[in-house]
Homo-oligomer: A and B are copies of this chain.
Amino acid sequence: MQDNAKIEEVLSTLDKGLPQALDRLMEFLRIPSISTDPAHKGDVRRAAEWLCAELTSLGFDASVRDTPGHPMVVAHSPKGDRRALLFYGHYDVQPVDPLTLWDRPPFEPEIQDTPAGKVIRARGAADDKGQLMTFVEAFRAWKEVHGSLPTDLVLLFEGEEESGSPSLRPFLRENAAELRAGIAMICDTSMYADGRPAITTQLRGLYGEEITVRAADRDLHSGSFGGLAANPIQILVNALSTVKDSNGRITLPGFYDGVEELSNELRSDWEDLGFDPTEFLSRVGLKHPIGEQGRTGLEMVWNQPTFEINGITGGYTGEGFKTVLPAEASAKVSFRLTGAQDPEAIRETFRAHIRAALPADCTVEFHGHGASPASRMDISDPAFAAAKSALSDEWNREAAFIGAGGSIPIAGDFKELLGMDSMLIGFGRDDDRIHSPNEKYDLTSVAKGARSWARILAALN
């Protein structure tokens, strides 16, 4: 642990250097590094090179590493005898269309006053350039005060996060020995509602499936065949209606194997968040939670598995009416998974459920989409308590361990390929408009985000 005087010196260095930190962030934001658009391929590389130069100037051993797609930036601080920390961020950004909905050019960042405080407005301000610069600025201030970087840091920056990360897993596999650390710090998430600092410690997994049920070898007229011939829409509808019972509980045999009840520690943290499911649903025009009876709202979205029909189509769906019995019908469904649920076992059980619903002369074709288990971090690792305490000190509010209902593939990839847990700590806000026109990042997040990392670095040193 560092002594308190040194920490305070790093924090005040950050405060004094904020104008320069903002200048650097604005320079970074001016590079239109849109990874999905081939026209911006050169810009994406330019952003990687900008970042590499920054890190080199701070004393990192940094390099731009080619992949079949956009490059990675990897940087190392000097070796020491500490438990290594890997920091992850991505320097590519989302496309900007529709451009007409932006108040200003998306790659000409500006500091603006808003009723809720100052913000920096540009594409990538929050996702993820502004966020990744919070830890880069923390390293800079640390070096200024201590004369050297913290030892045993590994930095990994990706340029394909907004286009599906096709090169990431091969890169992690090929460079596992170089990249493996004690724990990963991922700075690409938001704070909990109302700006409460939080560490995401569990993420639901996902298993998706496309189902196509076929009956007759052509579309039939319901006047000639209705009542006699099987209707694949009805077969599909019947099969999908019995995956959940009337209490919202999934009926597939063995489905809940591996689902774990919430620990008392997390239950207490989550209750303390004061989540009101009715208020949350009211923002989208709803009122009534439909999850399993007896579960809290946060359990429903973070700790309970789900079954959802994401799309369905069959027969005539245009204007007017057609009395057709279609030849086929299909649906896309997905399960969110928790605890130690096994996606492959559930895939088999689900497919068997659909097959059992087929009349003798109908067929089904499956097309699987992804199958990743849930991520659960080992919060008994003392690094979690230390980081939580550091965040609480900075924000003057008790930080919380929270869950996430969606998947963040990078956390699963780090676990699977490098064997390390992740701490997901970010300073975004719900209203940052990431992926939308007029993206912004609060200046509070810029300033206190960097200070948070300085405190975490001190706590873990």
Name the B residues within 8 Å of A406 (CB-CB).
221-224, 323
A322 at the interface (CB under 8 A from B): yes
Name the B residues within 8 Å of A359 (CB-CB).
288, 290
A311 at the interface (CB under 8 A from B): yes
Give CA–CA (A18, B285) in the complex, Å. 72
Do A301 and B217 have beta carbons less than 8 Å apart? no
How many A residues are at the interface, by size bracket? 35 or more
Do A226 and B369 have beta carbons less than 8 Å apart? no
User: How many copies of the shown chain assemble into the complex?
Assistant: 2
Encode A305-343 as 1/0 by CB contact (under 8 A) with B: 110111111111100111111100110101010000000
Give CA–CA (A238, B288) in the complex, Å. 18
Do A280 and B228 have beta carbons less than 8 Å apart? yes
Smallest distance from the beta carbon of A347 to chain B beta carbons, Å? 14
Encode A200-228 as 1/0 by CB contact (under 8 A) with B: 00001010101000011110111111111
A383 at the interface (CB under 8 A from B): no
Q: Which of A31-39, A150-158, A229-237, A263-271 contacts B (4 or more CB under 8 A)?
A: A229-237
Pick the residue among B206, B222, B228 that contacts A281 (CB under 8 A): B228
Pick the residue among B221, B311, B326 that contacts A314 (CB under 8 A): B311
Name the B residues within 8 Å of A244 (CB-CB).
234
Do A321 and B223 have beta carbons less than 8 Å apart? no
Give CA–CA (A284, B322) in the complex, Å. 19
A289 at the interface (CB under 8 A from B): yes
Do A308 and B287 have beta carbons less than 8 Å apart? no
Name the B residues within 8 Å of A210 (CB-CB).
321
Do B300 and A227 have beta carbons less than 8 Å apart? yes
Pick the residue among B288, B321, B329, B405 that contacts A312 (CB under 8 A): B329
Give CA–CA (A290, B330) in the complex, Å. 20
Q: Are A311 and B317 also in contact (CB < 8 A) when A280-B228, A284-B218 are?
A: yes
Q: Are A301 and B227 also in contact (CB < 8 A) when A310-B222, A321-B210, A325-B308 are?
A: yes
**Top-4 shortest CB links A-B:** A223-B406, A217-B285, A241-B241, A311-B315
Sampled A-B contacts (25; CB under 8 Å): A216-B284, A218-B284, A218-B285, A222-B336, A222-B406, A223-B404, A225-B405, A226-B336, A227-B305, A227-B405, A228-B290, A228-B291, A229-B284, A230-B288, A234-B309, A285-B361, A287-B361, A311-B315, A311-B317, A312-B317, A313-B313, A313-B314, A313-B317, A316-B332, A321-B369
Known interface pairs A228-B300, A311-B322; 16 further A-B residue pairs with C-beta atoms within 8 A, sorted by A's residue number? A216-B286, A221-B406, A222-B306, A222-B308, A222-B334, A224-B406, A225-B405, A227-B336, A227-B405, A228-B277, A233-B309, A308-B323, A311-B316, A311-B317, A321-B369, A323-B334
